[in-house]
Structure 1
């Protein structure tokens, strides 16, 4: 059973206090923007490592990337980036659940990139901040997209396709 504090935390973190139309935009168009930025970013990293992995891992900021085989790094980053971009095409609630899951996986990858860059701390640099921000945004967007899509599915099952009683 949820406590009252946990209920309010989920309520705020899930953006459920927003008007319904704003939630529709946020978890539709807004999340698509996050998917686009994250997908292109992951593909950019994959392309950079596909072409220059040996050279990149010589730089101190990229030295932790040498612990994984370049082929694995490239394939995982490219697969998740492509999946995020391809799933943007479908807009059904069930497709959005899959899209939310891929956003969560992308959030984990962005956090791992942040951790690899942070291994070179100090000094703090911008390449530490951006992956952390993307990890947080992708994780929140993915979780909320899944929750919102499940709510849409339950509403459609209860009231029909248009969601009105």
Structure 2
């Protein structure tokens, strides 16, 4: 009786092991690897000498602005204080005539001493003013408006001279 149980257990174990062990022939072919001939490394090319010449782009000539659609109409005034003891630049938001309100107004000034200052007003209301430091020389002001729908327009790009010109 013990021998029969042992033999039947052995047969069951052999059947289980035979089911777990499988051949690798599933109809899938293993990819064959073809050796790729390696190229003989050539001598590296001679080093290229690059001379960097600093170029100064003039900031005194602003590029033409793109046309802003009427939907985004906005009124912004830029003024420069002509008094030499306290030079400043004012960017004044007077309101929008369009249907889309601005979410941010960013003003950047490039002063005549080549320093750049940037300030912004988030969710500006009518009458919002951004004050930037100016110089007694010629300064450039760029005003960019971001609207609530994500549109961005540069609405002002002006060069402010050192002194107001008087025509005689």
TM interval, shorter chain, is under 0.3
Specify the structure having the higher radius of gyration (Cα).
Answer: 2
Greater relative contact order (Cα < 8 A, sep 6+): 1
Q: Which has the higher helix share?
A: 1
TM-score between both structures, scaled by the size of structure 2? 0.20
TM-score between both structures, scaled by the size of structure 1? 0.20
